[in-house]
Amino acid sequence: MCKGVPHSHVYRILRSGEVRVNKGRVKADYRLQLGDQVRVPPVRVAQREQGGVNAAAPAREFPVVFEDDAVLVIDKPAGVAVHGGSGVSFGVIEQLRRARPQAKFLELAHRLDRETSGLLIVGKKRSALVRLQDDFREGSMGKRYFALVKGRWLNQTQHIRNPLYKYLIENGERRVRVDPEGKPAHSIVRLVRRWQTGQGYFSLVEVELKTGRTHQIRVHLTNAGFPLLGDDKYGDFALNKELQRLGLKRMFLHAARLEMTHPATGEVMSLEAPLPPELSEFLRRLDIHDKKDYGEAV
């Protein structure tokens, strides 16, 4: 019914109580049962051209890490939203549909923040999509990110278990904070390397997600006292501005590794996406300006 309607709008009408199940309000995570009666308010569906794609979305292919009849895994660049909505006309999924008009089914299995680069999974069959989404929901999908943070990270391995609560600020933008009333969230942070420069200490960490909450890595690290470099929502804004002059013009967060069970064959797969050139170059510059290499590479 809502093909072409931004997910943000769907969630908004759920929060406002306009969607009713058996004449009552429901949350977004409610699972429909046989016999449920669902009332959906009228929604404006985007005009779509033949082939089922938005006319405004330019065709674009992205670097393919893996593809077969059921699954497509791409290496998403930073600065591209995964889908349209919330002020964004189109995203990865709309561009892929435009570039592949013959594809009968292309749907996102999960999300990445707009400024996060790296591995993104797209289902090419509904059966595959459902299995992939179940794996994400159950926490059986292995997701690892590289993040560069401000500060001197000490522990080789550290578990962060802080509940996260979503809320809206005055301009309607979504934010997340650590809050006892939030949903459980679990991140495992492993030290990769540290630098000391004229701008202070920096640490490269690998973050393994055991849950997939909105902005989880960004909020967990900031709450721990180690804001993500380039983060325009939760980061150190003065430092970010200074680092832009040194060449870091984006958030340093990259979905680098993915361990998944193929939804059709059951094969356990391990996929990787290397750091983009702009992030690798910034690490090289840190090496040049490093006053003392502590040698914590692991």
Per-domain residue ranges of the chain: 1-45, 53-138, 141-298
Report whether 91 contacts 121 (CB < 8 A): no
pLDDT (0 to 100) of residue 53: 45
Q: Which residue has the tokens 């361990």?
A: 259
Sheet hosting strand 24-25, strand order edge to edge: 24-25, 20-21, 38-39
> Where does residue 55 rank: exposed (0-12), middle (13-18), buried (19+ CB within 10 A)?
exposed
Q: List, by residue number, the catalytic residues.
A: 113
Using CA atoms, how far apart are residues 235 and 280, in angstroms rounded to an integer? 20
Q: pLDDT (tens digit, 9 = 90+) per residue, 106-163?
A: 999 999 999 999 999 999 999 999 999 999 988 889 999 999 999 999 999 999 999 9
Using CA atoms, how far apart are residues 298 and 290, in angstroms rounded to an integer? 18
- Tell me which of 1.10.645.10, 3.90.700.10, 3.40.50.300, 3.30.2350.10 is the CATH number of domain 53-138: 3.30.2350.10
Q: Say yes or no: do domains 53-138 and 141-298 share a fold.
A: yes
Which residue stretches of the chain have pLDDT < 50? 48-54, 293-298
pLDDT (0 to 100) of residue 87: 67
Using CA atoms, how far apart are residues 38 and 142, in angstroms rounded to an integer? 35
Q: Specify the pTM.
A: 0.80
- Which top CATH class is 141-298? alpha beta
Q: Nearest-CA neighbor of 32 among 18, 19, 15, 16?
A: 19
Residue 123 identity (one-letter amino acid): G
- For residue 121, list its beta bridge partners: 73
